[in-house]
């Protein structure tokens, strides 16, 4: 997945994940053994692609339920849909009663905002728009404008009331959950499969994913590849990992940026909610392993904005969050930082 939030755009993440299974996503159902049937579903949602693979003893089609999950998430949290709840709240409507999904994302965002000392902040939306990375109007930015807009940034300036309405310190505060929405969608789709009695699956939305169980056709763990942010050929991932019962998300800025036509200066898509400026960083890409994909998504975004040394210090104290980070050192060399927990799932060549 912002902010620690800075909230990066939906399209931003240098992202990952090439799925390595025996049967590709071509047919709705493909039987590969006498005991299990492999079911596949692919499509477009939340401005990106998704792929769902699961195993059961009989062919089952959950397309209607899958579409319903995406529809509800869009209605709740899409900043690109004018009549969504979040768009109405952003426009100043204080009468909106948010749903359980919005509440869950809000509460997790508040928690991560606090644990990262404000680097994850979904209220950075007004800056995301101003810098030209969101659905709102891009404006000319200078220090005066940035300082002015920072008055409307800060998750401590918003509150979810007991009546499920949002209170903002200023009506101009803008929410942007794009740095966590895809991870949340992955978790909700996984919960859908669990509710249907499916316990071996892989769900991927825009490169964020979660797995449960294994590939029952081959009786092997799920294997995913992490993109190399410096490679044009994505057939050569930076790493391969076994993924089981965890969420995995990546964020990066090497490929995603815009250039000022007059000066040629590069602006990356990550906006620092502390300074208000886009973040130029030596970190090229971050991949996070966490209990949920929503958490992984949010922390991946946050660590793109935090200084690398601060990220390393944070990770040393959190055994529930594992990371694989590609960065440029002071000598201009490409380096990798990998936590012990992440090393444990990497496939050694």
* The pair of three-digit structure tokens given for residue 342, joined into one six-digit string: 């992440």
Q: What is the per-residue pLDDT for 300?
A: 95
Q: Tell me which residue of 224, 273, 271 sits closest to 247, measured CA to CA.
A: 224
Average pLDDT of the chain to the nearest whole number? 85
The predicted model gives 306-326 an average pLDDT of 95
* The pair of three-digit structure tokens given for residue 7, joined into one six-digit string: 């909230």
Q: What is the per-residue pLDDT for 301?
A: 92
Q: What is the per-residue pLDDT for 24?
A: 30
**End-to-end CA separation in angstroms for the chain:** 28
- Report yes or no: 222 and 200 within 8 Å, Cβ to Cβ: no
d(CA 31, CA 302): 41
Determine phi and psi for 193, rounding to 5 degrees.
-65, -40
Q: What is the per-residue pLDDT for 314?
A: 97
Sign of CA dihedral 67, 174, 295, 146: positive
> Is the pLDDT confidence value at 309 over 60?
yes
- Report yes or no: 69 and 191 within 8 Å, Cβ to Cβ: no
The neighbouring-strand residues paired with 44 are 49
- Record the pTM: 0.85
Q: Is the backbone of residue 333 left (phi > 0), alpha (psi -120 to 50) or beta? A: beta
Determine phi and psi for 46, rounding to 5 degrees.
55, 30
Q: Tell me which residue of 40, 100, 45 sits closest to 67, measured CA to CA.
A: 45
> Is the pLDDT confidence value at 5 over 90?
no
Q: Which domains does the chain have, with CATH numbers?
A: 81-178 (1.10.3980.10)
d(CA 111, CA 116): 9
Lowest mean pLDDT among 2-6, 81-85, 106-110, 266-270: 2-6
* The pair of three-digit structure tokens given for residue 288, joined into one six-digit string: 């996070």
The predicted model gives 270-293 an average pLDDT of 89
- Report yes or no: 178 and 205 within 8 Å, Cβ to Cβ: no
Q: What is the per-residue pLDDT for 268?
A: 54
> Is the pLDDT confidence value at 8 over 50?
no
Q: What is the per-residue pLDDT for 265?
A: 55
Q: 118-138, pLDDT tens digit by residue? A: 999 999 988 988 988 777 788
Q: Are strands 222-226 and 239-243 parallel, antiparallel or unpaired?
A: antiparallel
Task: Give the confidence band of 256 by pLDDT, cuts at 50, 70, 90.
Answer: low
The total of other beta-carbon atoms located within 10 Å of residue 234's CB is 13
The predicted model gives 41-55 an average pLDDT of 95
> Is the pLDDT confidence value at 224 over 60?
yes
> Is the pLDDT confidence value at 70 over 90?
yes
> Is the pLDDT confidence value at 279 over 90?
no
Q: Tell me which residue of 40, 36, 29 sits closest to 57, measured CA to CA.
A: 36
DSSP string, 78-136: -TTSTTSHHHHHHTT----B--HHHHHHHHHHHHHHHHTTTSS-TTBHHHHHHTTSSSS
- CA dist 94 to 89, 123, 155, 188, 329, Å? 6, 16, 17, 27, 47
Q: How many CA atoms lie within 13 A of 95 on its CB side?
A: 0
> Is the pLDDT confidence value at 73 over 60?
yes
Q: 258 vs 108, which has greater pLDDT?
A: 108
């Amino acid at each position: 997945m912002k902010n620690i939030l800075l909230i990066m755009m939906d399209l931003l993440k240098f992202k990952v994940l090439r799925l390595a299974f025996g049967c590709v996503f071509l047919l709705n159902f493909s039987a590969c053994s006498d005991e299990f049937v492999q079911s596949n579903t692919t499509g477009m949602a939340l401005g990106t692609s998704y792929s769902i693979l699961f195993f059961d003893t009989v062919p089952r089609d959950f397309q209607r339920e899958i579409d319903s999950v995406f529809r509800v998430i869009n209605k709740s949290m899409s900043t690109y849909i004018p009549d969504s709840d979040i768009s109405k709240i952003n426009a100043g409507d204080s009468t909106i009663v948010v749903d359980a999904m919005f509440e869950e994302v809000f509460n997790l965002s508040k928690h991560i905002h606090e644990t990262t000392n404000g680097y994850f902040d979904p209220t950075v939306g007004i800056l995301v728009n101003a810098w030209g990375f969101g659905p709102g109007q891009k404006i000319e930015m200078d220090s005066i404008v940035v300082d002015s807009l920072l008055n409307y940034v800060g998750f401590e300036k918003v509150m979810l009331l007991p009546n499920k309405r949002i209170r903002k310190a200023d009506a101009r505060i803008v929410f942007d959950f794009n740095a966590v929405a895809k991870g949340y969608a992955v978790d909700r789709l996984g919960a859908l499969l669990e509710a249907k009695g499916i316990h071996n699956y892989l769900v991927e939305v825009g490169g964020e994913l979660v797995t449960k169980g294994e590939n029952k056709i081959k009786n092997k763990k799920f294997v995913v590849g992490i993109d190399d942010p410096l490679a044009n050929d994505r057939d050569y991932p930076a790493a391969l990992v076994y993924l089981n019962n965890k969420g995995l998300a990546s964020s990066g800025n090497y490929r995603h940026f815009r250039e000022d036509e007059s000066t040629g200066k590069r602006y990356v898509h990550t906006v620092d909610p502390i300074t208000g400026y886009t973040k130029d960083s030596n970190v090229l890409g971050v991949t996070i392993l966490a209990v949920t994909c929503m958490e992984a998504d949010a922390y991946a975004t946050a660590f793109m904005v935090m200084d690398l040394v601060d990220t390393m210090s944070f990770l040393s104290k959190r055994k529930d969050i594992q990371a694989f980070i590609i960065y440029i050192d002071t000598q201009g060399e490409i380096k990798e930082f990998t936590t012990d927990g992440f090393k444990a799932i990497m496939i050694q060549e």
